[in-house]
Structure 1
């Protein structure tokens, strides 16, 4: 496996470790400022990943799926990061502290709107990741060395389109509560 993949895995683990430590500091140690600092460090993991990927390409590496995934990871972290932290916070309160309430299930138009918001976050992630990939291609200046990044964008474009079709389907065929017709 390519070493850049290992860096991505380490960054993903680091992201979740910072979130768990931040939530533990906030709720278990009652150290709200420390918890906030730890949660605020999560974007630094993304910057580290971007820097390592850029340095690798700058020193002549041929772009591969790892470099593309680095851009995708950063886009997803920006597009969904706040929601992932909010979700983790809720899960921590529910599962560890036994104080949180489970989020209510959505149905019908509410469910469709929530999915549309999720798709818009996906679009934001796509735009950020795609911009990073385009900037990388321009920065390296050698399409032959960066052509795999374009292939990653093709796949992501298809995934984004499928996600949109599924999202729009909820407006035409709304999700119903079980037992209701």
Structure 2
């Protein structure tokens, strides 16, 4: 039941997002669209309550409860970012808005962007780990909470892997092929001009 609810919450997220943006831009009802978009967190609240009730009713704490916590953590960390990204593209495509700003592709700016995304992943893991710890306390000593602790370790692994990926953007910065540095300009042989 929890896995089906997670899928329903994910589908509901995109349905509410599409409905909210359609009301905002296509139907020219910005307040109604904003109200629909503000309903997004209710999905996670429902998932959290149902997960807690499932555990309280004696369900064995297992992978589906861990997945629910990670899903909620992901929505907390990346939900607003995703909505803002989709909103920018939707406004550009259907409401004549400016083209959405693309993330930087080169150099330190790209490394900074990747670092900010990694911080969001840290937030996701922290929220998930906290929810999993609360669920573990909720189940108590009498229940089997190994899978909840395994999901905490999974969240830490996700942070570590994403951290390594973000670090590569800092260590091996991709150079903009359209720009040259002053050092490269000085090293270039002088151009011969025909008179």
Could you say which structure has the higher helix fraction?
A: 1
Match runs of 1:11-22 below 5 Å: 11-22=9-20
What stretches of structure 1 of length at least 5 have no aligned partner? none
Q: Structure 1 residues 178 and 67 mapped into 2: Cα distance closer, same or farther (>3 Å)?
A: farther
Secondary structure, counterpart of 1:60 in structure 2: coil
Match runs of 1:17-166 below 5 Å: 17-97=15-95, 99-106=97-104, 107-142=106-141, 144-166=143-165
What stretches of structure 2 of length at least 5 have no aligned partner? 181-195
Provide the aligned length of Structure 1 versus Structure 2. 179
- Residue 6 of structure 2: aligned partner: 8
* 8 Å CA contact 1:137, 1:143 repeated in 2: no
Find the aligned partners of 2:6 and 2:114 in 1 and give their Cα distance: 27
* Residues 120-142 of structure 1, C-alpha deviations (whole Å, 9 max, x = no match): 11111111111000000001103
The Cα of 1:102 is off from its aligned counterpart by 3.8
Find the aligned partners of 1:176 and 1:65 in 2 and give their Cα distance: 43
Aligned-pair Cα RMSD in Å? 1.8
Secondary structure, counterpart of 1:101 in structure 2: coil
Find the aligned partners of 1:152 and 1:175 in 2 and give their Cα distance: 34
The Cα of 1:73 is off from its aligned counterpart by 1.0
